[in-house]
Amino acid sequence: MLTLILISLAKVVAILLVIILPLATLLTWVERKQSAVMQDRLGANRADILGLRVWGLFNIIADGIKSFSKEDWVPPFANRFLFNIAPFVGLFAAMVTFAVIPFGPPIHIAGQEIALQVADLNVGFLYILAFGSMGVYSVVLAGWSSNNKYAQLGAMRGISQMISYEVVLGLALVGVVLVHGSVRLPDIVAGQGEHWFGWIPKWGVFTQPLAFLLFLPAAIAETKRVPFDIPEGESEIIGYNLEYSGAKFALFLLGEFIEIVVLSALLATLFFGGWQVPWLADSGFVFGNGATVEMAPLVVTVLRIASFLLKVVFFCWLQLLIRWTLPRFRFDHLLRLGWREMLPLALLNVVVTAFVMLS
Amino acid sequence: MDIKTLLELMFGLLTVASAIWVAFTPKLLHAGFSLLFTFFGVAGLYVMLGADFLAAVQVLVYIGGILVLLLFGILLTTAMPTAELTVGGTRRGQGLALGMLLLGLLLLAVFRAGWPLSMNALPETTASDIGKGFMTTWLLPFEVASILLLGAMLGALHLARRAGEDQ
């Protein structure tokens, strides 16, 4: 019992310290630098320590110090308790989703098989949706407890957007579940290790292309970033987190970056084979023409974990690219897109997938 | 006391305490937020009983869906978020009588039930069994429930449509 708890704890710490927090912090810098490159600017490059600038990486530290030394202001008419817990609710909902994501194949240490996943739930897919839907509470609590009309209006926009796109999100995932016949994420990842004709990997993006095309925008809508950033609208229209300052505002921002990382991990797991490397079997590479490359089990494991991390980094990059490329949706367009265009397509995808699986 | 019993007690306490708060707070919005913890506690109890599918659905449907809409409704109605519900005179008596009746029914059900203990091991996955059950043994109740939901949806659409609007 105790060893089990210790192993789980070690996995949680590893995920937090190796994947989520470093990536999320780095992303604050990458977002500024990538947008600068895209807009032909030099970008964040002013913070220096003893003349050292390292491409503006010290800006991360400067940002941290800035936000934590600012006044932590609570509006006098706000509900203090709810106002204070709102940013943590969002952070919590984003972080716990990672618990069911397998970030590597099971490894063997001292005769014990250890799954590289914090919680191997039989209902992993529902768990993701359940905690994804809890993110709404951060918005509701922040908007309402601020006791500010603009914050409340922002929260209203946030709720309508998030519950609309949640439906599409869930239905898109149903297609993936149907293909693999399991709601367990390790099963879904294992299923994506097979190939067609020995060459084309059975990744979710190939078995469920429409689901991927629906899942990506719906999930970006859940992270409330451009082109779906009407609940926040940090630059012009103000949003639900308007009354927040200092460290708590920074928590909202950090929560957003953690959502990006988690979403990338989800995309990698559900649609891009998770930790699978194409043509890499347990014994080494096996290609479609029969050629094989033998490899030690340790090398295979390392390659697979690296492949997962690489996919996560790629999707983080892709999301930032989308954020700095597209303009914002108008709100009625956004809701119409969700309910009238994406929802019917998602339903169609489920029905067609079910028929294909039956035949 | 082992850790499992402790967790069960914790979830039970959370459920009951927050449910009491829902019933007794005069502030509507506080009741709504308190209901969140009640649902969460119930989901926790499901997990402790090995019903993982039911727990996930509980969080997804009740916390992620119904309660959000409930709060959305409260927040959208201008006077509601700050409204205080006061219960006076005769209503109090009626409420007490109804509450006692419900309590009696529940107690009757609790003491009448045999509470048989199954010696079988917990099933590996509950999701597939539930799915098969819905499609075979319990098909009729399942369909009746879906027709009920369809009716509710059509009703909601009808109510949401403004008078004289064609589309």
Beta bridge partners of A292: A286
Supply the pLDDT for residue B88: 67
Two structure tokens written together for B125:
């996955």
Are A169 and A31 part of one and the same domain? no
Please tell me the predicted confidence (pLDDT) of residue B79: 65
State what percent of residues in chain A have pLDDT above 90. 21
- The two tokens of residue A60 are 């991360």
Q: Does B72 touch chain A (CB under 8 A)?
A: yes
Assess B56–A contact: CB distance below 8 Å, yes or no. yes
- Count structural domains, chain A: 2
A123 in contact with chain B, both atoms CB, cutoff 8 A: yes
Taking only the tens place, the pLDDT of each residue in A209-226 is 999 999 999 999 988 888
- The residue segments making up the domain with residue A175 are 73-358
pLDDT of residue A322: 92
Q: Which residues pair with A114 in a beta bridge?
A: A107
A33 belongs to a structural domain: yes
What are the φ/ψ torsions at residue A117 (nearest 5 degrees)?
Answer: -170, 135
pLDDT at A82: 85
Searching chain A, which residue's CA lies closest to the CA of residue B59? A130
CATH, domain range B1-85: 1.20.120.1200
Inter-chain CB proximity B68 and A129 less than 8 Å:
no
Q: How far apart are CA B82 and CA B33, in angstroms?
A: 13
Bigger pLDDT: B92 or A333? A333
Q: Does A320 touch chain B (CB under 8 A)?
A: no
Contact call for B127 and A122, based on CB within 8 A: yes
B70 at interface of A, judged by CB pairs closer than 8 A: no
Together in a domain, A212 and A300: yes
Indicate if A215 and A310 belong to the same structural domain: yes
Check B64 against A159: CB less than 8 A apart.
Answer: no
- Separation CA A164–CA A168 (nearest Å): 7
Structure letter (DSSP) for residue A107: E
pTM of this prediction? 0.87
Inside any domain, residue A285: yes
Give the domain-ending residue among A69, A84, A104. Answer: A69
Residue A31 amino acid letter:
E
Q: Does B65 contact A at CB distance below 8 Å?
A: yes
- Cβ of A133 within 8 Å of Cβ of B65? The answer is yes
pLDDT of residue A307: 92
Provide, as residue numbers in chain B, all residues whose Cβ is less than 8 Å from the Cβ of A132.
64
Do residue A43 and residue A129 come from a single domain? no
Please, which pLDDT band fits residue B87 given cuts at 50, 70 and 90? low
- Measure CB to CB from residue B64 to each of A1, A130, A155 and give the nearest one: A130
Beta strand spans in A68-196 (E): 107-109, 112-114, 195-196
Percent of chain A scoring above 70 in pLDDT: 99
Examine residue A323 and state whether it is found in any structural domain, yes or no: yes
User: What are A18-75's pLDDT values in tens digits?
Assistant: 888 888 888 988 988 889 989 998 878 777 888 777 788 888 888 889 888 998 888 8
Answer positive or negative: Cα dihedral of B1, B5, B7, B10: negative
How does pLDDT run across A109-123, given as a tens digit for each residue?
767 777 888 878 878
Residues A311 and A184 in one domain: yes
Residues A246-298 have pLDDT tens digits of 889 999 988 889 999 999 999 999 999 888 888 888 777 888 777 788 888 88
How distant is the Cα of B124 from the closest Cα of chain A, in angstroms?
8
Same domain membership, residue A152 and residue A301? yes
Instruction: Identify the pLDDT of residue B131.
Output: 84
Q: Which residue has the higher pLDDT, B72 or A259?
A: A259
Residue A61 lies in a domain: yes
- pLDDT, residue A261, reads 92
> pLDDT digit string (tens) for A317-346?
999 999 999 988 888 899 999 999 999 999
ipTM: 0.76
Average pLDDT value for residue range B120-127: 74
For residue A169, give the nearest of A220, A219, A226 by alpha carbon: A219
3-state secondary structure at position B29: helix
B68·A127 Cβ contact <8 A:
no
Report the alpha-carbon distance of residue B85 to residue A137 in Å, rounded: 24
Chain A residues with CB-CB distance to B69 below 8 A? 163
pLDDT reading at B119 higher than 80: no
Count contacts between A and B (CB, < 8 Å): 69
Q: Reply yes or no on whether the pLDDT at A100 is more than 60.
A: yes
Chain B CB within 8 Å of residue A134 CB: yes
Residues A94 and A219 in one domain: yes
Q: Are A44 and A145 contained in the same domain?
A: no
Is A156–B124 a contact, with Cβ atoms under 8 angstroms apart?
Answer: no
Q: Please list every residue in chain A whose beta carbon sits closer than 8 Å to the beta carbon of residue B57.
A: 126, 130
Interface of A with B in 138-157 (CB under 8 A): 140-141, 143-144, 152, 155-156
Based on the fold, state whether residues A274 and A179 are members of the same structural domain.
yes
Q: What percent of chain B has pLDDT over 90?
A: 35
Instruction: Over range A294-304, report the average pLDDT.
Output: 85
Q: Which of A23, A44, A69 is the last residue of a domain?
A: A69
Q: Does A1 map to a domain?
A: no
Give the residue among B139, B125, B134 at the shortest CA–CA distance from A181. B125
Q: Does residue A118 sit in the same domain as residue A41?
A: no
- Tell me if B56 and A137 make a contact (CB, 8 A cut-off): no
A58 and A92 part of one domain: no
Give the residue with greater pLDDT, A198 vs A265. A265
